[in-house]
Amino acid sequence: MTNYRKKGSVRSQNLLELIHTDISGPFQHKTICGKQYFITFIDDFSRFCYIFLLNEKSQALETFKIFKAEAKKQLNRVIKVVRSDRGGEYYGRYTESGQNKGPFALYLEECGIKAQYTTPGTPEQNGVSERRNRTLINMVRSMICRTGLPKILWGEALKTANYICNRTPSKAIDKTPFKLWYNKKPSLNHLHVWGCKAEARIYNPHEQKLDPKTISVFFIGYPEKSKGYRFYCPHNHTRILETNKVRFIGELHDSDDVIVDDLDDLSSSSLAENFDSSFMFDTALYTDSIVESDDEQNNIIEANEVVENGELNLQPNEEILDHVPINNDIPVENQEPAVHIEPNNAAVEVVNEAEPLDIPVIPRRSERVRKSAIPDIYETVFATEK
């Protein structure tokens, strides 16, 4: 479906003036609790989203009652309009005499809430819900594919994705949905990578003295009504656990390879130790010679005669070497050994120039400028709020 933009659309000016809702499913893999659908309730003003997992579509009315009661009590406001598609769980049935209202439509009428339905074959009229469902499913797919966790955890990944979206700004609003809904800034200090490994200590009143204190688990989300984290333990009798006593490990990567985020964090010595410089001396790639420093050039003299009577008969070279050949450009039989004399003349070392020089190589640093994933307009807004 191509991008559809409404012209002259009017946005809500207050919370709960308009609620967008839609049901997605069924999913091929049921959750651990047997859920295969999910329903969303999105506030038009704040874009704050509630998600409920369903066994079947007929539970839409039950979840809406829960959402309505909580929103009314927490915000001291009432829902005015509900927009949905013409699914049987919302609309009922259409007959020649008009709408044959189902339980959901009858409840809206009883509560004085105005219902808005899309026309057949035009899901773009409920674009807020449709686009949010697509965003959430894309996030769930990426989370499960990257971690390799079982697909039955799509419900936990879905709730975590919605948890993140409610705390992330979008181009539809100038603040985060959490800020507009709760009138306070969200905290992001407790966020962790979904699916990362962790060592958690689970409360066990029957723990023995020699029992292990922690178990290996995978992080899968945040509890809705308590401070802590949710974990998946495939080898435990209860596979879904909640605790706040945990140590997260392996959040940056899944392999044993070291990931370097910034070359500035590495010293030149460590680069020289870990960097293979043999390929730098290929004449097909590098033809320029390497210039030695003045001190090294002055310490290189040519030995024209072999040691006689236990002493070296040295004759200084008349010209200072301008260049040092690379990759044995000079044939071995034509090369003469060079002698390095220490400043105190305490030791004399004969060096064969045919051997490649062990010169540390510093890799080229990237000049690419890192760009923020969040547009500048939101950074300006956050800076203003602070």
Structural domain ending residue among the three candidates 225, 251, 277 = 251
If pLDDT is split at 50, 70 and 90, which confidence band does 296 have?
very low
241 and 318 part of one domain:
no
**Is residue 275, in this structure, part of any structural domain at all?**
yes
Residue 146 burial (CB count, 10 A): 12
**Is residue 6, in this structure, part of any structural domain at all?**
no
- Residue 258: the pLDDT is 34
Whether the model pTM is above 0.85:
no
Q: Once rounded to an integer, what is the mean pLDDT over residues 216-221?
A: 94
Average of per-residue pLDDT values in the chain: 76
29 and 146 part of one domain:
yes
**Which of 104-108, 150-154, 167-171, 347-351 is least confident?**
347-351
Number of domains observed in the structure of the chain: 3
149 and 219 part of one domain:
no
Structural domain ending residue among the three candidates 155, 182, 209 = 182
Query: What is the CATH number for 236?
Result: 2.30.30
302 lies in which domain range?
268-351
If pLDDT is split at 50, 70 and 90, which confidence band does 236 have?
confident
169 and 101 part of one domain:
yes
174 and 293 part of one domain:
no
Q: 302 - beta bridge partners?
A: 338
DSSP one-letter string for 279-308? GGG-TTT--SPBPPPHHHHHTEEE--S--B
Contacts of residues 203-207 at CB distance under 8 Å and 24 or more positions apart, as own/partner, are 203/243
107 and 59 part of one domain:
yes
**Is residue 244, in this structure, part of any structural domain at all?**
yes
271 or 48: which carries more pLDDT confidence?
48
Distance CA 213, CA 241 (A): 15
209 and 64 part of one domain:
no
Segment (H or E) for 382? helix 376-385
**Is residue 262, in this structure, part of any structural domain at all?**
no
- Residue 114: the pLDDT is 96
CB neighbour list of residue 287: distance below 8 Å, 6 or more residues apart: none
102 and 158 part of one domain:
yes
Does 45 score more than 70 pLDDT? yes
164 and 82 part of one domain:
yes
**Is residue 385, in this structure, part of any structural domain at all?**
no
33 and 158 part of one domain:
yes
244 or 357: which carries more pLDDT confidence?
244
Query: What is the CATH number for 171?
Result: 3.30.420.10
136 and 93 part of one domain:
yes
If pLDDT is split at 50, 70 and 90, which confidence band does 289 have?
very low
**Is residue 381, in this structure, part of any structural domain at all?**
no
207 and 160 part of one domain:
no
**Is residue 358, in this structure, part of any structural domain at all?**
no
Are the beta carbons of 144 and 221 closer than 8 angstroms? no
**Is residue 259, in this structure, part of any structural domain at all?**
no
